[in-house]
Amino acid sequence: MTEEATATQVRQEIPITVHINGAAQSTAIAPNVLLSEFLRDHLALTGTHVGCDTSQCGACTVLVDGRVVKSCTILAVQADGMSVTTVEGLRAGSVLHPVQEAFRAHHALQCGFCTPGALMLAAGLLMDNPHPTRSEIREGLDGIVCRCTGYENIVEAVADAAERLAEEVRPHGA
């Protein structure tokens, strides 16, 4: 196969439908487009940051069908038929997600570059394990690199978010 034929094949677009933050997005996309590129460049969801493109920094973390995924590690076509939640979809209307409230309360960010990924990682971590120990939180945060905070405030924020989420499901006074 010639180089030109290969390039044409790569450019050939594939129809996909991905549910992004609760809304179906149907489009046709080249098979080599990363999910992170799809979110940022095609849907203008630039809350998902790209720090390395080599699956190390975690800034691009989103939830795919409720699972924590670094969006630079999968292709957009692989998300066909799936639900993707980005940082833009974390809050409910004007109400911040408890993880966002906890990050704010504990000053768990400085420059903010890692923050969208850290928030999504924390949200996913607490879905899997609603009552993590500090050690489990530290282990769970292994997927993000933060060059500013030293992680202590992020760990405290995730622990606080666990409390806030538990309070939401627990009847008051129980």
Binding footprint of ligand FES on the chain (CB under 6 A): 50-53, 55-60, 70, 72, 109-115, 146-149
What's the closest the beta carbon of residue 98 comes to ligand FES, in angstroms?
A: 19
What's the closest the beta carbon of residue 99 comes to ligand FES, in angstroms?
A: 15
Is the CB of 26 or the CB of 54 nearer to ligand FES?
Answer: 54
Q: Tell me which amino acid residue 4 is.
A: E
Is the CB of 16 or the CB of 119 nearer to ligand FES?
Answer: 119
Is the CB of 24 or the CB of 125 nearer to ligand FES?
Answer: 125
What's the closest the beta carbon of residue 168 comes to ligand FES, in angstroms?
A: 26
The phi, psi pair for 167, rounded to 5°, reads: -65, -35
Is the CB of 33 or the CB of 50 nearer to ligand FES?
Answer: 50
What's the closest the beta carbon of residue 118 comes to ligand FES, in angstroms?
A: 7
For residues 61 and 51, is the Cβ–Cβ distance under 8 A?
no
Bridge partners of residue 67, in order along the sequence = 64
* DSSP symbols for 72-126: TSSBGGGGTT-EEE-GGGTSBTTBPPHHHHHHHHTT--SS-SSHHHHHHHHHHHH
Is the CB of 42 or the CB of 131 nearer to ligand FES?
Answer: 42
Quick one: residue 124, left, alpha or beta (phi over 0 = left, psi -120 to 50 = alpha)? alpha
In degrees to the nearest 10, what's the CA dihedral of 118, 122, 125, 126?
Answer: -170
For residues 158 and 126, is the Cβ–Cβ distance under 8 A?
yes
Residue 126: alpha-carbon gap to chain centroid: 13
What's the closest the beta carbon of residue 28 comes to ligand FES, in angstroms?
A: 24
